[in-house]
């Protein structure tokens, strides 16, 4: 029977979600990849055990994570039953709805019908009574924001979610959504957005600035840009890489000579700091006070151990930051 490491809370700092009472580990585990039906169950189990044994209390899912959609939640539910359920009150489990999940007009976007049905399905797959954070996964230009936020409010009022979150929103829409949720007395605490040295959209679309102004946390996904901000692709594409095993989100054509040249220079800068490129990329995000947590994916437990080393050095000189800015565009 699994017993968690007794020193697990000595590894990572815990950072506040904006001005709320909720703390998240500086590094969280995302189940976007490597938890579908194509992955070995014992490896998934080892990933979750390693994460929790090293202070990662936050496990981030969505209804459509797989492959196939729903598979990650089903597999995580099995891991909960086998290992983690005795520690449920020490875990932050999040899920989302907003992308295509099932056929027909009610399995996508942001209607009340879709969000509340999806949350019920997610709870069944994981064997849970509630999730800690329930997100709307993307902006819906056709559904009134009041309806979507009302569905999040209902999820919280029903006890099926403790907090609400928004994912892939921009600054202006976030501000409107937050005003509605405040009026409904919903504990909206966090935004989840793509953010990395190579993708700084949140600095340009108002999300980062607005979240800070409103006292909301930010958790970043793809902080390593699907593996580009590692040394993995500097010397060719490994046979077991995501490019070959799951080409949906990173393709060989994405790894241009120009990009690989910039990554090599970032790698040199990281080495001069005594870090790997991945550690520096995560540390660059964690150096920003607006950022609550960085979401990492992993295919091996050793990658989790490598990533949490990022918290050991999150200080940057002005010269280092300027060089990263130069190489990020």
pLDDT at 238: 59
pLDDT digits (tens, 9 = 90+) for 187-216: 999 999 999 999 999 999 999 999 999 999
User: What three-state secondary structure class fits 225?
Assistant: helix
State the average pLDDT for the chain: 95
- If phi > 0 it is left, if psi is from -120 to 50 it is alpha, else beta; for residue 198 that is alpha
**206-255 pLDDT, tens per residue?**
999 999 999 999 999 999 998 899 988 887 665 555 554 555 556 666 77
Q: Is 140 helix (H, G, I), strand (E, B) or coil?
A: coil
Residue 2 lies in a domain: no
Please check whether residue 3 lies inside any domain of the structure.
no
183 in a structural domain:
yes
Q: What share of the chain has pLDDT > 90, as a percent?
A: 91
Q: Are 269 and 323 in contact (CB under 8 A)?
A: yes
Q: Rounded to a whole number, what is the distance in angstroms from the first to the last CA of the chain?
A: 49
For residue 287, give the nearest of 168, 195, 169, 194 by alpha carbon.
Answer: 195
Q: What is the mean pLDDT of residues 177-192?
A: 98
Distance CA 88, CA 116 (A): 23
**CA 295 – CA 305 distance, rounded (Å):** 14
Tell me the torsion sign for CA atoms 97, 300, 284, 320: negative
Which run of H or E residues covers position 147? helix 145-157
- Inside any domain, residue 196: yes
Q: How many structural domains is the chain composed of?
A: 1
Report pLDDT digits (tens) over 253-289.
677 889 999 999 999 999 999 999 999 999 999 999 9
Q: Is there a domain that residue 191 lies in?
A: yes
Inside any domain, residue 127: yes
Residue 58's domain is classified under what CATH number?
3.20.20.100
Predicted pLDDT of residue 244: 45
Mean pLDDT of 19-39: 97
Say if residues 57 and 25 touch (Cβ distance below 8 Å): yes
Ordered DSSP codes for 268-324 = HHHHHTTS-HHHHHHHHHHTSTTEEEEEE--SSHHHHHHHHGGGG-----HHHHHHH
C-alpha 49/C-alpha 27 separation (Å) is 15
Domain assignment of residue 157, yes or no: yes
Average pLDDT over residues 87-94: 98
Find the Cα–Cα–Cα–Cα dihedral 234, 240, 244, 250, rounded to 10°.
-50
Q: Which residue segment(s) compose the domain that 300 sits in?
A: 8-328
pLDDT of residue 251: 66
Per 3-state DSSP, what percentage of the chain is helix, strand, and coil (rounded to 5)? 45, 15, 40
- Show the DSSP H helices in 158-228 as ranges: 171-183, 201-204, 207-214
User: What's the rounded Cα separation, in Å, for the pair 140 and 109?
Assistant: 6
Grouping H, G, I as helix, E, B as strand and the rest as coil, residue 189 is strand
């Amino acid at each position: 029977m699994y017993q968690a490491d007794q020193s697990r809370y000595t590894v990572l700092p815990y950072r506040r979600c904006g001005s709320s009472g909720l703390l998240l580990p500086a590094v969280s585990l995302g189940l976007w990849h490597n938890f579908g039906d194509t992955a070995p169950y014992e490896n998934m189990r080892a990933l979750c055990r390693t994460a929790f044994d090293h202070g990662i209390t936050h496990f981030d899912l969505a209804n459509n994570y797989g492959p196939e959609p729903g598979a990650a939640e089903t597999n995580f539910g099995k891991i909960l039953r086998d290992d983690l359920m005795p520690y449920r009150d020490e875990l932050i489990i999040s899920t989302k709805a907003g992308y295509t999940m099932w056929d027909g007009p009610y399995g996508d976007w942001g209607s009340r019908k879709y969000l509340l049905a999806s949350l019920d399905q997610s709870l069944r797959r994981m064997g849970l009574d509630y999730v800690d954070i329930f997100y709307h996964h993307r902006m819906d230009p056709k559904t009134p924001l009041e309806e979507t936020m009302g569905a999040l409010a209902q999820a919280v009022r029903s006890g099926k979610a403790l907090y609400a979150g928004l994912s892939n929103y921009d600054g202006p829409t976030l501000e409107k959504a937050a005003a509605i949720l405040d009026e409904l007395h919903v504990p909206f605490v966090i935004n989840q957005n793509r953010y990395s040295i190579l993708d700084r959209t949140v600095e340009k679309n108002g999300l980062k600035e607005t979240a800070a102004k409103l006292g909301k946390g930010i958790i970043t996904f793809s902080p390593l840009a699907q593996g580009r901000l590692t040394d993995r692709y500097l010397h060719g594409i490994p046979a077991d890489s995501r490019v070959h095993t799951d080409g949906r989100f990173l393709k060989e054509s994405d790894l241009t000579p120009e990009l690989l040249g910039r990554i090599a220079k970032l790698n040199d800068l990281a080495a001069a700091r005594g870090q790997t490129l991945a550690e520096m990329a995560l540390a660059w995000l964690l150096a920003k006070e607006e950022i609550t947590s960085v979401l990492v994916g992993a295919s091996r437990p050793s990658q989790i151990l490598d990533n949490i080393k990022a918290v050991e050095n999150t200080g940057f000189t002005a010269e280092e930051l300027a060089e990263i800015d130069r190489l990020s565009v």
